[in-house]
Amino acid sequence: INEVVIELLDDIRDLNGSIQFIHIAGFNNLELIKSAYAERGFIAYVDSFVQGLWSAYMVCDVAISRSGAISLAELCYFGIPTIFIPYPFAVDNHQYFNVKPIYDLEGCFLIREKELTVDSISQAVKSLYEDTRLREKFSSVMKSFSIRNSADLIVEEIING
């Protein structure tokens, strides 16, 4: 994903100045990724890990993400329109199946790794950037998969058995 996002920056140069990035890049090639944003003049916070990810979610308009259970739950909670790219080596392809119900309701973009190209991700990014209604629809569908009072339900189940 990191490599394609770097290539994406060249394809969306016309959006420079109107978008900012928070890029959680992992530990490999961190400096290369930071340089890619800087060289192209994009405003970006790039790190290997973000402590207090909730604050990043609160300022996020769109996400590009894997579809592990925790990431998916957090993105649904905040209703962040997302381009999901399931990890292709996940056991039993579970990341794909995690996000498929949202995709089936047209609530996200889903790009399988083998279909991931600069063009595929660029089209998705530009669609979300340009189409407010699409972002609102994705957000609404994502939020519908979030259980807002989950902690209360867990406590109630523990107490009542």
pLDDT digits (tens, 9 = 90+) for 55-100: 999 999 999 999 999 999 999 999 999 999 999 999 999 999 999 9
According to the model, what pLDDT value does residue 150 have?
Answer: 85
- pLDDT of 151: 86
Q: Is 84 helix (H, G, I), strand (E, B) or coil?
A: strand
Q: What is the mean pLDDT of the chain?
A: 95
Q: Which token pair is 150?
A: 């989950």
- Torsion, CA 84, CA 15, CA 58, CA 27, rounded to 10: 60
Each of the 161 residues of the chain gets a pLDDT tens digit; together they read 999 999 999 999 999 889 999 999 999 899 999 999 999 999 999 999 998 888 999 999 999 999 999 999 999 999 999 999 999 999 999 999 999 999 999 999 999 999 999 999 999 999 999 999 999 999 999 999 998 888 888 999 999 97
In whole angstroms, what is the distance from residue 51 CA to residue 43 CA? 20
Instruction: Compute CA 73 distance to the chain's CA centroid, rounded to the nearest angstrom.
Output: 11
Name the nearest CA neighbour of 58 among 69, 50, 68, 66: 50
Per-residue confidence (pLDDT) for residue 140, from 0 to 100? 98
Long-range contacts of 25-31 (CB under 8 A, 24+ apart): 26/2, 28/2, 29/2
